[in-house]
Amino acid sequence: WDVKLLGLLSLPALSPKGSPRGLEIGDIHQAVAIGLLVLVGLHAAAAIFHHWILRDGTLARMFPVEK
């Protein structure tokens, strides 16, 4: 895929298509993306746990509402 910076400037490829290095970079990219998705999911689950199970006011402290 072509990579464009701000939709204007084309950036050079890190490696040729189908090269072993490019495939390795793709594998690393996929693993990091999945890891980040797992961390975001765990973070959301922890927030729900604190709000609905522990009822310790964690979300209320993070999002104060003026009355």
Q: Kindly report, residue by residue over 7-51, the tens digit of the pLDDT.
A: 899 999 888 889 999 999 999 999 999 999 999 999 999 999 999
What pLDDT does 20 receive? 95
Provide mean pLDDT across the span 1-11: 87
Question: What would the two tokens of residue 62 be?
Answer: 């993070």
Q: Is residue 43 part of a domain?
A: yes
Domain around 27: 20-67
Q: Is residue 4 part of a domain?
A: no
Q: Is residue 44 part of a domain?
A: yes
What pLDDT does 67 receive? 59
Task: With a cut of 90, say whether residue 63 has pLDDT above it.
Answer: no
Separation of CA 45 from chain center: 15
Q: Is residue 24 part of a domain?
A: yes
Q: Is residue 30 part of a domain?
A: yes
Global pTM? 0.72
Look at the chain and report how many structural domains it folds into: 1
Confidence of residue 2 (pLDDT cuts 50, 70, 90): confident
User: Under 8 Å CB-to-CB from 15, ≥6 apart: which residues?
Assistant: 21, 22, 25
